[in-house]
Structure 1
Amino acid sequence: MTMSDLPGRQSANGRTIRTARTRWRMRLTGLVLLIVGAVALVPMEGALAADNAFQPTLPGAESAIRAAYAQAFTGGGDQAHALAAVDDGPALAGTLALAAQNFPQAVETAQVTVSNVTFNNLFNAKVRFHITYQGGADFGERDGTAVFVNLKWKVSRETYCTVMGWAGATCPPRAGLPPLNPAAAQNAIRQAYAQAFTGGQDPAVVLAAIEGGQGLAGTLAQAAQNYPDIVASSTVTTSDIVFTDPWHAWVRYHISYQGGGLGSTGTAVISDGHWKVSRATYCSVASLLGAVCPAP
């Protein structure tokens, strides 16, 4: 009988060999990870300047940001071209149109100067800018941001909407998941707004187009009593409709009436299986006529 014939000897040797191999694999894996980590740090070292400010690894990033700000905020050009330099720009066409309507000279003559660009990371940068124009207040130098989206540097949506706010134009929220038939839903929302805010109709018809309208009869009656000419002569137009989810939408609308008009934003909701003007929106308009909605 040899040593290899002893019970358990072969099994013990096998375990010893397997254990040694496992240790070597672990050591090799650790060495590979160490090398990969060191290689990954090399470009990062080159991306840090002496003052520890992040610098982009791709050349031309700063000039691309300056060009995007110039494209977005220089007046007198094609609006679609300007919005192409803004994150989510096409969705903000109605906002730019309203700004141009409110302050046409300012939008037409706008010029922008970028004094400084500081990169936060590869996809975001802080921008110091100043927009000058005729026919409006000068807001001075401001801090904005630029973002790298779809392989291009663009003015951030937040910065652009802040500037549009100077002209009294509110940006819609980012679009969410729409309903199955967006076109039909938009038509239903427009009809609901027309039904709720067109004067000269039976109160029951008006209230049927409002979320929880059955509880707002007294509010409508109070508004009509306070301002009968406005309530009787009102008409409404809706422009932007943005779905935030399949059951809610953001709406830009304008109510015209004898002697004036009101432009604002509101919401629409699915209620009782139909698109209706939200209770909050209707109560906001009613409050301008001195009518208070009861607690829901």
Structure 2
Amino acid sequence: MTMSDRPGRRPAGNGTTRTRRRRHLAALTLLVAAVSAMIPAQAALAGGNGPQPFVRARAEAAVKAAYAQAFTGGQDPAHSLAAVEDGPDLAATLAQATQNFPQATQTSQVTVSNITFDGPRNAGLRFHLSYQGGVDFGEVDGTALISGGRWKVSRATYCTVMSWAGATCPVKPGRQPRDPAAARSAIGQAYTQAFTGGQDPAHSLAVVEDGPDLADTLAQAIQNFPEATHTAAVTTSDIVFTDPRHAALRFRIAYQGGIDFGEQNGNALIVDGEWKVSRGTYCMVMGWAGATCPSP
């Protein structure tokens, strides 16, 4: 007879087993409670068959409150931008819009309607901005999303509104290249090689996307404005990577004998393993000299 066969006796490990089971049950209970707490109330919006009415009402109210905070005029800029996705990054954009149209930005009011939810963290809607001293763009489409744990106006919608006031949002950074410093240096060198005047055309075009196809375009620009193309010098700034192979930046070309177009937006990309000036950017500059790029 073994110890487990004797009446009134239990295996020595049985008590330990029951204790472990209780601990496992308690741990499972805590885990379920924790997971439930992590699911936001907006998750009830995920079903395509319609959320609970009180959940939808709360979410709609939060979306409307975000739009009101972002677009009501006469507020502290930091307060307005706190209700916008990536708001702090757009302070200079709002300042430019305010400078361009002070009356419109001071008096603006917003109404929101037709809110629909695409999952628990995104919403589409219609909105209308009314203000004094500017064009009425009527009712337009907008979006909102959960960012930082609260509903906010999407960056895309906010930047569209800022464009009505002649203000441009900065490019949103994406995944960075392996060596951002080296990539920025290579982009600056590409712009310098492409736009510095008095060089061999083939050398300039070697750092331009589809450069060999644009030889006639450069020749036409040189013919139209020989002094400007001979004296051109470029500076670059604010290089932002939208992904490891593409970048946006600001650049300015100074020259003699032509109109100063000031600082402009440009693009660069990796072609055949090296950073080059984008075809679109190069053709824009050639357009200043009355030269047209051929179709790609």
The normalised TM-score by structure 2 is 0.64
| Alignment partners' CA distance in 1, 2:207 and 2:74 | 41
Note the C-alpha offset of 1:144. Answer: 1.7
Count of residues paired in the alignment? 247
Note the C-alpha offset of 1:222. Answer: 0.9
Q: 1:224 aligns with which of 219, 222, 225?
A: 222
Q: 1:243 aligns with which of 241, 244, 258?
A: 241
- 1:289 aligned residue: 289
| Alignment partners' CA distance in 2, 1:99 and 1:236 | 28
Note the C-alpha offset of 1:285. Answer: 2.6
- 1:158 aligned residue: 156
- 1:167 aligned residue: 165
Report the secondary structure of 1:222's partner residue: helix
Note the C-alpha offset of 1:290. Answer: 2.7
CA shift in 2, pair 1:67/1:253, >3 Å: farther
| Alignment partners' CA distance in 2, 1:214 and 1:115 | 51
- 1:143 aligned residue: 141
Identity %: 53
Report the secondary structure of 2:175's partner residue: coil
| Alignment partners' CA distance in 1, 2:232 and 2:103 | 30
| Alignment partners' CA distance in 1, 2:182 and 2:73 | 36
Alignment of 1:164-203 (within 5 A): 164-169=162-167, 171=169, 174-198=172-196, 200-203=197-200
CA shift in 2, pair 1:238/1:141, >3 Å: farther
| Alignment partners' CA distance in 1, 2:90 and 2:73 | 16
Q: Is the 8 A contact 1:113 1:131 kept in 2?
A: yes
- 1:28 aligned residue: none
Q: Is the 8 A contact 1:267 1:278 kept in 2?
A: yes
- 1:4 aligned residue: none
Letter in 1 for 2:111: V
- 2:84 aligned residue: 86
Deviations 1:4-27 (A, max 9, x none): xxxxxxxxxxxxxxxxxxxxxxxx
CA shift in 2, pair 1:201/1:55, >3 Å: farther
Letter in 1 for 2:259: G
Alignment of 1:5-84 (within 5 A): 55=53, 57=55, 60-75=58-73, 81-84=79-82
1:114 equivalent in alignment to 2:111: yes
| Alignment partners' CA distance in 2, 1:96 and 1:107 | 12
5+ unaligned residues in a row in structure 1: which ranges? 1-42
5+ unaligned residues in a row in structure 2: which ranges? 1-40
CA shift in 2, pair 1:122/1:294, >3 Å: closer
Note the C-alpha offset of 1:147. Answer: 1.3
Q: Is the 8 A contact 2:205 2:214 kept in 1?
A: yes
Deviations 1:219-254 (A, max 9, x none): 222112223454356555545433232122233445
Q: Is the 8 A contact 1:216 1:293 kept in 2?
A: yes
Letter in 2 for 1:248: H
